[in-house]
Structure 1
Amino acid sequence: MKTMDIIHNPFKNKGTAFTEEERRKLGLIGTLPGSVQTIEQQAKRVYDQYKIRPDGMQKRKFLMEVFNTNRTLFYYVLSHHIEELLPIVYDPVIAPAIEQYSEIFMLPQEAAFLSIEHPEDIEESLKNAADGRDIRLIVVTDAEGILGIGDWGVNGVNISVGKLMIYTAAAGINPSQVLPVSLDVGTNNQELIHDPLYLGLKKARVTGKEYYDMVDKFVASARKLFPDVYIHFEDFGRDNATKILNKYRNEIPVFNDDVQGTGIVSLAGVLGALEISGQKITDQKFLTFGAGTAGMGIANLLCKELQLQGLSEEEAKKHFYLIDKQGLLFDDTEGLTPEQKPFTRSRDEFDNSEELTNLEAVIKAVHPTVMIGTSTTPGAFTEGAIREMAAHAERPIIFPISNPTRLIEAMPKDLLEWTDGKALIATGIPVEDVEYKGVSYAIGQANNALIYPGVGLGVLASKARLVNDQMISAAAHSLGGIVDTTKPGAAVLPPVSKIHEFTKTVAKAVAQSAIDQGLADPDITDAEKAIEAIKWEAKY
């Protein structure tokens, strides 16, 4: 490797931390300032520079410059300030970063860009992007359904990059073993199609057989090139997300964060809330407000949990009510998706089924105890609706988890006031503690970043052949159990500031489940040792 190639390789570059001996050995004498710094000194300089940036996008742009030049230093800074920096590298600042991706593009960040117009190049593209690295984890997106902002075509590769950052910062996944992948199948976003700077295909999204053939070829090529790879599907559209997950989940280790990750963190939050209230999950009535990919992923996982607790599938489904754009979903509602159909209700159950088109009316008819919002409809949880829910639930569990902030169904301060402090709340955005009647209420963040890094670490550590429902339930229970039930106003989910601790807890639960079920590598019998063996640290 040439001298300058080392400095320009983000996986090998140490910048001013190269020792004098290393500089002589690698031919770097005279190419760097004379002072040799520690990573701690470098990190202080980076953090000081970060703090003077005026807003989220400027802060993120600066951090990406560090990411592009020195991965070890980037992850050292991120891991030491993760609670502060997580909203910058991921949600909510990831949204404008995706929207502006083509305009501010500088470097591809070692991502693989696969085009539906050239399926013959898929294997070569993956190989080129990997550049000889031992890839163990891929986050792939076609960016049709980026929660809150919709279809952003090839710009959505930023979501793959951001997710992988959290995998490394929270779980210690080696950054040289990950690969962000963009499936460019076109876009239905007319703004992008007419944008002269847009970097993706300027055509309507390809659907049907040609689309699924591309996904098949991607999966086959990835498994051929990287036999141990774990594939994380991200932000696929509602018509494709579950279908793709179900196609591969019984064959290889795959995960869909929108279908499963949102479901796991929501289930964990519900379990945490029930720890506080002292109630049983089998006694709850669940209302899902927004029955798209995320909403149905939540309903499915909660339903499976009820079955694991002893209910039959038929009994479990009687606990669920779905509201989408049409109102409460009935078995004769037009336009139902395959995921929605098993959870619809019969009109015979209600005297006023034709009137159940808005949230407050449905709450009056159903009396839910758990309500989860994934609608991206700001302010949808109105005062009237919430007061009606609180009138029939001792400790209403209310999770407005749509994000970014401008799309949240209700703010925690209002929910606490409207329920007189009874509500057990989690949101999809970071929220400061809320003071109400002398009690400080910590608001849990139902952020998928709380869960998917631990799941991935557990799968990779155990070399699990599959990711099944038992492993997912184990992840949710491990996270939901980290609740301080003795503290008034306790959060239903652990804080992001402790992400390193509970990520390991989740990983251990997942790996142990794989071992117990015989899904792990036969040579792996100790979950904790397996996790420690693969964890990467940001140090030179």
Structure 2
Amino acid sequence: MSDNFKEESLQYHRARNEFDTNGKIGTLITKPCDTEKELSMAYSPGVAYPCLEIEKDINTAYDYTNKGNLVAVISDGTAVLGLGDIGHLAGKPVMEGKAVLFKTFANVDAVDIELNVKEPEKIIETVAAIADTFGGINLEDIKAPKCFEIEEKLKEICDVPVFHDDQHGTAVITTAGLINVLEMTGKPVEDLKVVVIGAGASGIACAKMYKQLGVKNITMLDSKGVIHSGRTDLNKYKQEFAFDTPDRTLDDAIKGADMVLGLSGPDLISAEQVKTMAESPIIFACANPIPEIMPPVAKEARPDVIMGTGRSDFPNQVNNVLGFPQIFRGALDVRATKITEGMKMAAAKALAALAKEPVPEHVKKAHGRENMEFGPEYIIPSPFDRRVLVWVASAVAQAAIEDGVARIDPASFNVEEYKTKLQRLADHLDGKI
């Protein structure tokens, strides 16, 4: 990026006038407090009444407080974007940014919380102690493998959804793309050979979701090469993907592969390696800002390749904003206690289905493309398509009802009425109403 963009970004994060504040988020007051009566209801003595209602039934906190629309974005700063372990406070701009995306794309209020502790047990204890304040917990930028332990324990302890987006967001979106490629190519999912480069939080979560979809043959690589059953240096999360194979390098593993998922670093996949892949290969090269292989290089090597990256300037962007805001929207609206595997798969299938719908003109304009329709250049919906909110949130809410993790009465939930409500919200976020 240019020096000019750097300065613009720094200025973007600073106050713009004397009434503005530094940073990107603040507090929105949702009720008037302009008269003596309103003051007395906002605080003492009127505030006592909702307090007493909640004392009688803790679930009424959803009725009298912002709990039902509030998410905590929590990080220890150990795996911040592509910056690594830069410290909890240095990661705060990212967590504020996450809160901006929650509000912008799903009208979910979010508060960033940066923890000045790195021990898993202390993080678990801290988050568990504050979880009831929120309707959901979004764990962010916590390095592997401790992120797995932290999420697992918190899901057991907490009575609200706990979701580590670095794992599951990428998994949901690439699974959506994979579903559509399988349909386009006619390849049976059980015959697929998948290679995952990168055995961190995202790589392992993606591989688990592909297995849930029905993929049986997954070869995973870390910085030392192929993860296989002969290695003795694997943590328990990598061991799940260790099997008996003669493959030791990416050269070995990529031969005949139907799909490669890159969650590692720049320029790790060569054109020669792409040439050895199976017919109609799919490559999700998600390293940012430089992917494992640039799309023009991959397409020159294999014109039949179906390509996705983490970048917005190429088709099929793997962007987590297609997932986490809408997943939480659906979970919050049915007062879910967890985000289940079924809810995540429902989100992936909803994204896959939406990609087959005609693309609105404003979305094409946002991308500077005249033609956008279901096919190799469009297997994942655009983040600018507000229908993502309607399709994903409703699918997640319905799955929560079916999985028995919703607090609301299932008989009171009508998915078509909920879609109508979400469409009104989408129109509101677009400034149409």
Match of 1:340 among 221, 234, 238: 238
Q: List per-residue Cα deviations over 1:133-175 (Å, max 9, x = no partner).
A: 83521111111112322111121122211111111111122xx
Aligned residue in 1 for 2:365: none
SS of 1:340's equivalent?
Answer: helix
Aligned residue in 1 for 2:273: 385
Q: List per-residue Cα deviations over 1:462-490 (Å, max 9, x = no partner).
A: 11111110011000010012234975543
Aligned residue in 2 for 1:256: 164
Cα distance in 2 for partners of 1:386, 1:67 equals 52
Cα distance in 2 for partners of 1:58, 1:108 equals 14
Alignment of 1:363-512 (within 5 A): 363-364=254-255, 367-376=256-265, 378-389=266-277, 393-403=278-288, 405-406=289-290, 408-419=291-302, 421-432=303-314, 443-484=315-356, 489-498=376-385, 500-512=386-398
SS of 2:276's equivalent?
Answer: helix
SS of 1:232's equivalent?
Answer: strand
Alignment of 1:284-299 (within 5 A): 284-299=192-207
Q: List per-residue Cα deviations over 1:411-469 (Å, max 9, x = no partner).
A: 111111110x211111011124xxxxxxxxxx200111111111011011111111110
Code of the aligned partner of 2:313: V
Code of the aligned partner of 1:491: Y
Alignment of 1:129-148 (within 5 A): 134-135=66-67, 136-148=70-82
Cα gap change, 1:328 to 1:429, in 2 (>3 Å): same
Cα distance in 2 for partners of 1:285, 1:157 equals 39
Alignment of 1:249-328 (within 5 A): 249-250=155-156, 251-252=158-159, 253-306=161-214, 318-328=216-226
Cα distance in 1 for partners of 2:394, 2:5 equals 37
**Percent of residue pairs identical:** 25
Aligned residue in 1 for 2:153: 247
Cα distance in 1 for partners of 2:201, 2:142 equals 9
Please state how far the C-alpha of 1:67 moved relative to its aligned partner.
11
The answer to whether the Cα contact below 8 Å between 1:260 and 1:297 also exists between their aligned partners in 2 is yes
Aligned residue in 2 for 1:58: 8
Gaps in structure 1 of 5+ consecutive residues: 1-52, 72-105, 112-131, 186-205, 307-315, 433-442
1:149 equivalent in alignment to 2:83: yes
Q: List per-residue Cα deviations over 1:112-141 (Å, max 9, x = no partner).
A: xxxxxxxxxxxxxxxxxxxx9835211111
The answer to whether the Cα contact below 8 Å between 2:145 and 2:237 also exists between their aligned partners in 1 is no
Cα distance in 2 for partners of 1:490, 1:108 equals 34
RMSD between superposed Cα atoms in Å: 2.9
Aligned residue in 2 for 1:184: 116
SS of 1:481's equivalent?
Answer: helix
Give the aligned length. 368
Alignment of 1:105-116 (within 5 A): 106=22, 109=25
Code of the aligned partner of 1:515: I
Alignment of 1:205-216 (within 5 A): 206-207=118-119, 211-216=120-125
Cα distance in 1 for partners of 2:23, 2:130 equals 24
Alignment of 1:38-77 (within 5 A): 54-55=4-5, 57-59=7-9, 61-62=11-12, 65=15
Code of the aligned partner of 1:256: H
TM-score (ref. length: structure 1)? 0.63
Please state how far the C-alpha of 1:374 moved relative to its aligned partner.
0.4
Aligned residue in 2 for 1:92: none
The answer to whether the Cα contact below 8 Å between 1:394 and 1:422 also exists between their aligned partners in 2 is yes
Q: List per-residue Cα deviations over 1:486-512 (Å, max 9, x = no partner).
A: 7554312112221x2112210010001
Aligned residue in 2 for 1:17: none
Match of 1:237 among 137, 143, 163: 143
Gaps in structure 2 of 5+ consecutive residues: 28-63, 358-372
Aligned residue in 2 for 1:360: 251
SS of 1:343's equivalent?
Answer: coil
Cα gap change, 1:488 to 1:108, in 2 (>3 Å): closer
The answer to whether the Cα contact below 8 Å between 2:124 and 2:153 also exists between their aligned partners in 1 is no
SS of 1:445's equivalent?
Answer: coil
Please state how far the C-alpha of 1:363 moved relative to its aligned partner.
2.0
Does 151-160 or 231-240 show the bigger shift?
A: 151-160
SS of 2:149's equivalent?
Answer: helix
Please state how far the C-alpha of 1:521 moved relative to its aligned partner.
2.5
Cα gap change, 1:285 to 1:275, in 2 (>3 Å): same
Aligned residue in 1 for 2:50: none
The answer to whether the Cα contact below 8 Å between 1:171 and 1:504 also exists between their aligned partners in 2 is no
TM-score (ref. length: structure 2)? 0.78
SS of 1:249's equivalent?
Answer: helix
Match of 2:131 among 189, 213, 222: 222
Q: List per-residue Cα deviations over 1:232-261 (Å, max 9, x = no partner).
A: 001101021111111122443110101111
Cα distance in 1 for partners of 2:309, 2:166 equals 16
The answer to whether the Cα contact below 8 Å between 2:199 and 2:238 also exists between their aligned partners in 1 is yes
Q: List per-residue Cα deviations over 1:257-281 (Å, max 9, x = no partner).
A: 0111111111111112223223332
Cα gap change, 1:528 to 1:456, in 2 (>3 Å): farther
The answer to whether the Cα contact below 8 Å between 2:135 and 2:335 also exists between their aligned partners in 1 is no
Code of the aligned partner of 1:238: A
Aligned residue in 1 for 2:42: none
SS of 1:422's equivalent?
Answer: coil
Please state how far the C-alpha of 1:179 moved relative to its aligned partner.
0.9
Greater gyration radius: 1
Please state how far the C-alpha of 1:64 moved relative to its aligned partner.
5.6
SS of 1:496's equivalent?
Answer: coil
Aligned residue in 2 for 1:164: 99
Please state how far the C-alpha of 1:66 moved relative to its aligned partner.
6.2
